[in-house]
Amino acid sequence: LARLLPGLDRSSRRRLIEEGRVRVEGRIVDRAGVDGPPGALVEVDHVSGEMLPTWGPDQHSRWSALVVDPAWPGGTLPACDGDSLRFEVVARREGLARLVLDGGPCDAQAVCAALARADMPVAGDLERGGLAVAGGPRLVPGSARDGTASETADLLGWPEEPVWQVGVGRDDGWNDTAEPPAARAGATGALTAPRLVVSHETARAIGRGHAWILPDEASDSPQRFRPGTLLRVEDRAQQLIGWARAEGDARPAARIWAAGAIEPTAIPSVEARIARALARRRSLLVDVEMGGTNAFRLIHGEADGLPGLFIDRLGPLLRVLVTGRSTEGFRDRALSALHSQLPLTPEGEPWSVLELLHLRAPSEASFDRVRWLAGGPDALAASGLEIDETGFRVFERGLSFAVDPGWDSPCRTRPGFGLFLDQRDNRGRLAIRATRGGRWLNLFAHTGAFSVALLAAGAEQVVSVDLSAPYLHRLQANLEANRERGVEPDRHQSIRSDGRRYLERLAGGLNFDGIVVDPPTAAAAGRRFWSLRRDLEPLLQRCIERLAPGGVLLATQNRSGPPLGLDRALARIAGRADRLVVGLQAAPAGLDHPVLPGFPEGEPFEGYLMELE
């Protein structure tokens, strides 16, 4: 209580207890001196205004603050009178970060409010959800930029006691046989860890292989743990069922780090996880002159044992997509291990590394989401790439495709970059069939990777349909870039239209030897997700009606939940159309996109290849 309410004297704190206004883990404390276990939630009811800090009215253009360590290295916040505040993280320590803020004149109340709205409350600002620290709020005017760095640092001060009673910071190192931090070694020297007790339903899901812990009323909340903290997961009977990384205030609440009743010393290290991921992709890690491909996924999140972390190899660029704050417990270490085990590209060039923070954030603020960790455009150009403002070209089976990694939009991230790597094997499957020629239709064509592959393999004609004019423009550029590889743009037709409308208006008697159907995750109209019955089945039926005898249909979909059952839908629709199916096989993503049984969210890609008589 002395830390929580530093303005109260001892007698006032005792009175709070006597009045029954203090609870530890939901239970009323009836006497002073009760211990709170590590990570315990302490609540005080009816805190009056005089217990909270008061702020002066002075306005300043520069401030320094201590806040809970944010995911972002910097950003811009809306502040007072239409002005904005630019913030930058200048130091991190034990779960806190020191910020410097510059912008229009603001008083302390406005600065605290702006930071709280951005989910970065000032340490000690209890009114707005800041962590309790001894000595009160950590916000002072001035910054390291105006010559008062030493004075500002003294006024802010890092708390003498840790503000997080349990857990660890970024890259804790406690995921293998390394010695744990002293704070988590018990009196007997045994390894200890914060506990997370989950519901029976969650325990069963983990036992079936699910890789996320979703919040529910019967499970402990991991919000009191720093993102990335390694948690001991127990069922309601207090039996160990696995280990997880806290996600913080998000869904999922935590991500499984190791399943089963295993001791911490048996948990595979980050380095071992990286080594397994690289071994899985050994056949792809060859010089592009030999293998023809330099664009594929190196790390695939949960399926590679590195939940929330996705790394793509795009030529000499490693594109690091971060989708969860749980990665803060291992991300730097994973990148270091990757660099140690794969220090150069297979062609002998140094890597450039681009990190993209694809995380939830308050909509009114703008955060720095994209940053170079190594190299950059100049380094990429020095490796021989021809780069422009947005990207460069990579190779797949000897064909050239433009990619847009996202460095031109530092405050906005997107998972895609103009080439769907999970369709690489399917492009190869169809290219084999296109060696016989034929007329092909590519619906929802995106930037035309299927169209290029089909034409290069020998298709007589390809029609590409997409509603996006920019995508069709990039598709045409991909065609032109592959002229020397057998692609003749004259054998291609681009049509700007919705795929469904195109089929409805198609002239009678015009059929195709092959059709590719890869609709976006969400429909363009209303941005709603595709429904199998409402959207996909009518579309697939029209496709089957337009297939020539012996034709093939590749149907794929990225979804947000369990499998849609495309195979059953295709068989059902073909039966209704009185078309005999002579082949129906799964068309999954390649080996660089592994899957986890029992975790459908980690396998959003579903694909089937159907051949008619």
Cα torsion 466, 468, 474, 476 to 10°: value is 50
Per-residue pLDDT tens over the stretch 54-94: 666 788 889 999 998 999 999 999 987 778 999 999 999 88
| Residues paired with residue 62 on neighbouring β-strands, in sequence order | 102
* Residue 300 identity (one-letter amino acid): H
Higher-pLDDT residue of 520, 550 = 550
Which 3 state secondary structure label does DSSP give 522?
Answer: strand
Taking each helix axis from N to C end, the angle separating 469-481 and 449-457, rounded to the nearest 10 degrees, works out to 30
pLDDT of residue 528: 53
Average pLDDT taken over every residue of the chain: 87
How far is 594 from 603, CA to CA, in rounded Å?
Answer: 8
Q: Does residue 103 or residue 133 have the better pLDDT?
A: 103
Question: From CA 538, how far away is CA 590, in angstroms rounded?
Answer: 28
Residue 6's pLDDT is 67
Q: For 81, what's the count of Cα atoms within 13 Å in the CB-facing half-sphere? A: 6
pLDDT tens-place string over residues 142-165: 865 554 444 555 567 788 776 664
Average pLDDT over residues 500-525: 83
Angle at 452 between CA 447 and CA 457, to 5 degrees: 160
- CA pair distance 106, 62, nearest whole angstrom: 9
Burial bucket for residue 250 (CB in 10 Å: 0-12, 13-18, 19+): middle
CA distance 160 to 39: 18
pLDDT digits (tens, 9 = 90+) for 386-420: 999 899 999 999 999 999 999 999 999 988 999 99
- Amino acid 558: pLDDT: 84
Question: Dihedral sign, CA of 229, 306, 604, 444?
Answer: positive
Q: Coil, strand, or helix at residue 575?
A: helix
Q: Binning pLDDT at 50, 70 and 90, where does residue 490 land?
A: very high
Does 509 have pLDDT greater than 60?
yes
Q: Which of 146-160, 249-263, 434-448 has the lowest mean pLDDT?
A: 146-160
| pTM tops 0.95, yes or no | no
| pLDDT exceeds cutoff 60 at 362 | yes
* Residue 180 confidence (pLDDT) above 50: no
> What distance lies between CA 36 and its chain's CA centroid?
35
Nearest residue to 514 via CA among 613, 399, 611 = 611
Domains of the chain, each with CATH number or no CATH: 10-50 (no CATH), 60-156 (3.30.2350.10), 191-266 (2.30.130.10), 270-403 (3.30.750.80), 421-612 (3.40.50.150)
d(CA 82, CA 104): 9
Express each pLDDT in 552-599 by its tens digit: 999 998 876 667 788 999 999 999 989 999 999 999 999 999 999 899
35 — pLDDT class (breaks 50, 70, 90): confident
pLDDT of residue 32: 80
Min mean pLDDT across 149-153, 293-297, 320-324, 401-405 is at 149-153
Grade residue 170 by pLDDT with cuts at 50, 70 and 90: low
Separation between Cα atoms, residue 199 and residue 217, nearest integer Å: 8
Look at residue 36 in the predicted model and tell me its pLDDT: 73
Check: CB of residue 545 under 8 Å from CB of residue 459: no
- pLDDT range class, residue 181, cuts 50, 70, 90: very low
pLDDT digits (tens, 9 = 90+) for 113-148: 999 999 999 998 888 888 878 777 889 988 655 544
Position 187 scores a pLDDT of: 40
CB-based contact 159:132 (threshold 8 Å): no
DSSP character for 290?
H
**E strand spans, 94-145:** 96-107, 139-141
- Cα–Cα distance for residue pair 593/421, rounded to 1 Å: 9
Nearest 5°: the CA angle 65, 69, 75 is: 70
Judge whether residue 177 has pLDDT over 80: no
Whether the Cβ atoms of residue 609 and residue 554 lie closer than 8 Å to each other? yes
Please write down the long-range contacts of 536-542, taking CB distance under 8 Å and 24 or more positions apart.
536/564, 536/566, 536/569, 537/569, 537/573, 538/500, 539/499, 539/500, 539/503, 540/569, 540/570, 540/573, 541/573, 541/576, 541/577, 542/500, 542/503, 542/504
DSSP class of residue 305?
T
The two structure tokens encoding residue 591 = 């080996």
Backbone angles phi, psi at 92, to 5 degrees: -130, 140
Burial 568-588 (b: 16+ CB within 10 A, else e): ebbeebbeeeebebeebeebb
Give the pLDDT mean for 163-169: 52
> Stretch 265-276: mean pLDDT, rounded?
97
Structure tokens at 486: 């057998």
pLDDT for residue 34: 79
What pLDDT score does 535 carry?
76
pLDDT of residue 168: 45
Amino acid at 40: A
Q: Kindly tell me if the per-residue pLDDT of 450 is higher than 50.
A: yes
